[in-house]
Amino acid sequence: MVLWIGIDDTDSLQGMCTTFLATEIVRDLTQDFDLIGYPRLVRLNPNIPWKTRGNGAVCIRIGEGEGPGSIVGSIAGRFIVSYRRGRTPQGMEAVAKRVARLVECWSRFEDPTTNPAFVVLGKQPTAGLYWKAVRGVVSKRYARVVSQGRGLMRPYKNGRGLIGALASVAWRPHDRTYEILTYRAREAWATNRQIDPGSVVRMDRAFPSTFNNYDYQTQQVVIAPHSPCPVLFGIRGDDPSILPAAMNLIEGERPERWLIFETNQGTDDHVSGGPPFGSWSTVRWSGAVQSLPRILPGGHVVVRVANLDFTAYEPSKQFRSVVRKLVPGDRVQAVGAMRRRPRTLNLEKLLVESTVDVPQKVANPWCSRCQKRAKSMGHQAGFRCVRCGKRFPVSAAIFAQIGRGLLPGWYEPPVFARRHLSKPLKRMHPKFTRDRVAQNELQKEPSVGVPPLPVQESVSRAREK
Ligand SMILES: [Zn+2]
């Protein structure tokens, strides 16, 4: 048994970061208590419109550690040791006082959209609170009611942060990943980050259990944020034991502190199991393509599947070329955020299950008398040999199955356009290995549309009659 501390909504777009506050709380509390397990970074429903950032809450467990400890961070020149198990410490009130001091010191109270809260609980709220908060919408009242009698709740301002603070404590991981977060020295905050891109590539190749590090197509470093927050960079992966070594491969600005978080990032926990789908939900939708894709102003691509429009937005870049290649009859499955108005699915991932054959006219009919191709007389009007005047019906043209340039398999947006919670293809079941191949093919050949097929005389001759 341990004490569960949950914190949410302390940051703003202008700076700070709830995970930095977590390092300050860990630094303070580990002087008198032991850290139990990893600190947790819990992402909640990314579709909630009033959450402008990554919608991440933090949970820290403290107690009297039992068994061997392991190093999970370094803060202010001191290694942070964590224990697998622990006994509940005395003094919940005293712990809350210390947490309150730090929350009040570091939260962005002046930001009207920041409504901090923290909780110190002796017992986790029901798991249902987490699932509701990651997939749907939770009211403050509901979060309070299901957490009644489990400890102390401290809301500030309108107290909306209580929802995330309680939900982060309620998380019982089925699937999990880890992120080593590194932080900048105070004097470097809000200045440009110095990170050597070559070292990020080397790290990405040396540690295949990490993900979302680097976008090879656009040659972009993805481990560093662009906001003025104190984070220097974060490396995500499946194996926490290699993350410090991965961190040490990154060259450039030196982190002032680091801490490994256990997270629900990259797990698809936000994807609803099935209908009925609530507001702001992320769903799976499958069926046959009903229309040719349309391109909207701004470069967004829309295609209709089983009576729902799928939209791939411009920031998803080359991912749009997959959607553009779809034709009616293709079967697909998508994961995406459901938008009510206009009703559309914002694509996060797409599985091309099967594609239809598309015959395409590759040549006009052949006049064997004149050894010449006939000319078209207009749309659907047939053909005529200009030399001898012989007429040919529309069906006399030479058709061939064209290469679709689209292999069955899963496709995902480039690294920089992914959501924190989206499970990258790299983490999916080994049976999807072929999908990685499909994805690689796409990256090699980002060209749009259908590649032209060279006209083969043998094909034309066979169809001549
Ligand atoms: Zn002719």
Read off the amino acid at residue 365: P
Q: How many Å separate Cα 93 from the centre of its chain?
A: 38
Is residue 141 predicted with pLDDT exceeding 50?
yes
Structural contact between residues 95 and 62, judged by C-beta atoms closer than 8 angstroms: yes
Mean pLDDT for 127-153 is: 95
Write the Ramachandran bin of 9: left for phi over 0, alpha for psi from -120 to 50, otherwise beta.
left
Q: Is 41 exposed, middle or buried (0-12, 13-18, 19+ CB in 10 A)?
A: buried
Q: How far is the CA of 276 from the centre of ligand 1 (A)?
A: 64
% of the chain beyond a pLDDT of 70: 91
Q: What is the pLDDT of residue 389?
A: 95
Which residue do the tokens 């990256």 mark? 443
Is residue 453 predicted with pLDDT exceeding 50?
no
Mean pLDDT for 241-265 is: 98
Q: How far is the CA of 459 from the centre of ligand 1 (A)?
A: 20
| Distance in angstroms (rounded) separating the CA atoms of residues 161 and 10 | 8
Q: How far is the CA of 397 from the centre of ligand 1 (A)?
A: 15
Encode 120-176 in three state secondary structure: EECCCCCHHHHHHHHHCCCCHHHHHHHCCCCEEEEECCCCCHHHHHHHHHHCCCCCC
Q: What is the pLDDT of residue 108?
A: 85
Which residue do the tokens 């540690």 mark? 207
Cα dihedral value 51, 52, 55, 58, nearest 10? -100
| Distance in angstroms (rounded) separating the CA atoms of residues 141 and 255 | 40
Q: What is the pLDDT of residue 275?
A: 81
Q: How far is the CA of 365 from the centre of ligand 1 (A)?
A: 10
Mean pLDDT for 155-165 is: 93
Q: What is the pLDDT of residue 15?
A: 67
Mean pLDDT for 324-330 is: 96
Q: What is the pLDDT of residue 430?
A: 52
| Main-chain phi, psi angles of 23, to 5 degrees | -65, -35
Read off the amino acid at residue 223: I
Coil vs helix vs strand at 51: coil
Q: Which residues, including other chains, have CB under 8 Å from residue 399's CB and lie 6 or more apart?
A: 359, 360, 361, 362, 463
Q: How far is the CA of 265 from the centre of ligand 1 (A)?
A: 67
| Distance in angstroms (rounded) separating the CA atoms of residues 74 and 106 | 20
Query: Could you read off the pLDDT of 383-439 as tens digits, one per residue?
Result: 999 999 999 999 999 988 878 889 999 999 999 999 999 999 999 865 444 444 444
The dihedral through the CA atoms of 92, 97, 98, 100 has a sign that is: positive
| Distance in angstroms (rounded) separating the CA atoms of residues 353 and 407 | 9
Q: How far is the CA of 366 from the centre of ligand 1 (A)?
A: 8
Structural contact between residues 323 and 303, judged by C-beta atoms closer than 8 angstroms: yes
Q: What is the pLDDT of residue 429?
A: 66
**Confidence class of residue 232 from pLDDT cuts 50, 70 and 90?**
very high
Q: What is the pLDDT of residue 53?
A: 65
Structural contact between residues 271 and 282, judged by C-beta atoms closer than 8 angstroms: yes
**Confidence class of residue 175 from pLDDT cuts 50, 70 and 90?**
very high
Class of domain 3-263: alpha beta
Q: What is the pLDDT of residue 109?
A: 83
Q: What is the pLDDT of residue 52?
A: 58
Q: How many Å separate Cα 246 from the centre of its chain?
A: 21
Which residue do the tokens 């080994």 mark? 430
Mean pLDDT for 264-288 is: 92
Q: What is the CATH number of domain 282-357+403-444?
A: 2.40.50.1010
Q: What is the mean pLDDT of the chain?
A: 89
Query: Could you read off the pLDDT of 73-123 as tens digits, one per residue?
Result: 999 999 999 999 999 888 899 999 999 999 998 888 888 888 999 999 999
Residue ranges per domain, the chain? 3-263, 282-357+403-444, 359-401
Q: How far is the CA of 453 from the centre of ligand 1 (A)?
A: 26
Write the Ramachandran bin of 161: left for phi over 0, alpha for psi from -120 to 50, otherwise beta.
alpha
Structural contact between residues 266 and 423, judged by C-beta atoms closer than 8 angstroms: yes
Q: What is the pLDDT of residue 449?
A: 29
Q: How far is the CA of 319 from the centre of ligand 1 (A)?
A: 47
Mean pLDDT for 225-243 is: 94
Write the Ramachandran bin of 200: left for phi over 0, alpha for psi from -120 to 50, otherwise beta.
alpha
| Distance in angstroms (rounded) separating the CA atoms of residues 53 and 222 | 16
Q: How far is the CA of 378 from the centre of ligand 1 (A)?
A: 18
**Which DSSP symbol is given to 347?**
E
**Confidence class of residue 445 from pLDDT cuts 50, 70 and 90?**
very low
What distance, in Å, lies between the first and last C-alpha atoms of the chain?
A: 84
Q: Is 92 exposed, middle or buried (0-12, 13-18, 19+ CB in 10 A)?
A: middle
| Distance in angstroms (rounded) separating the CA atoms of residues 345 and 357 | 26
Is residue 63 predicted with pLDDT exceeding 60?
yes
Coil vs helix vs strand at 282: strand
Q: How far is the CA of 392 from the centre of ligand 1 (A)?
A: 10
Q: How far is the CA of 360 from the centre of ligand 1 (A)?
A: 24
Q: How far is the CA of 401 from the centre of ligand 1 (A)?
A: 27
Query: Could you read off the pLDDT of 1-51 as tens digits, one per residue?
Result: 799 999 998 887 666 689 999 999 999 999 999 999 999 999 999 998 876
For residue 129, list its beta bridge partners. Answer: none
Q: How far is the CA of 391 from the centre of ligand 1 (A)?
A: 9
Q: 71: which 2 tokens? A: 């190093």
Query: Could you read off the pLDDT of 197-206 as tens digits, one per residue?
Result: 999 999 999 9
H or E element that contains 339: strand 331-339
Q: Which is more confident, 465 or 167?
A: 167
Q: How far is the CA of 458 from the centre of ligand 1 (A)?
A: 20
Q: How far is the CA of 369 from the centre of ligand 1 (A)?
A: 5
Q: How far is the CA of 387 from the centre of ligand 1 (A)?
A: 5
Q: What is the pLDDT of residue 7?
A: 96
Q: What is the pLDDT of residue 137?
A: 92
Q: How far is the CA of 386 from the centre of ligand 1 (A)?
A: 7
Nearest in space to 181 (alpha carbons), one of 232, 241, 240: 232
Q: How far is the CA of 374 from the centre of ligand 1 (A)?
A: 7
Judge if the upstream peptide bond of residue 228 is cis by omega within 30 degrees of 0: no
Structural contact between residues 163 and 137, judged by C-beta atoms closer than 8 angstroms: no
Is residue 213 predicted with pLDDT exceeding 80?
yes
| Distance in angstroms (rounded) separating the CA atoms of residues 256 and 34 | 22
Judge if the upstream peptide bond of residue 68 is cis by omega within 30 degrees of 0: no
Q: 82: which 2 tokens? A: 């964590």
Query: Could you read off the pLDDT of 352-367 as tens digits, one per residue?
Result: 999 999 888 889 999 9
Which residue do the tokens 């999916």 mark? 428
Query: Mean pLDDT lowest for which of 101-105, 169-173, 255-259?
Result: 101-105
Question: Pairing relation of β-strands 177-183 and 257-263?
Answer: antiparallel
H or E element that contains 375: strand 375-376
Q: Is there a shared CATH topology between the 3-263 domain and the 282-357+403-444 domain? A: no
**Confidence class of residue 446 from pLDDT cuts 50, 70 and 90?**
very low
Is residue 462 predicted with pLDDT exceeding 60?
no
What is the DSSP annotation of 292-320? Answer: --EE-TTS-EEEEETTEEEEE-GGGTTHH
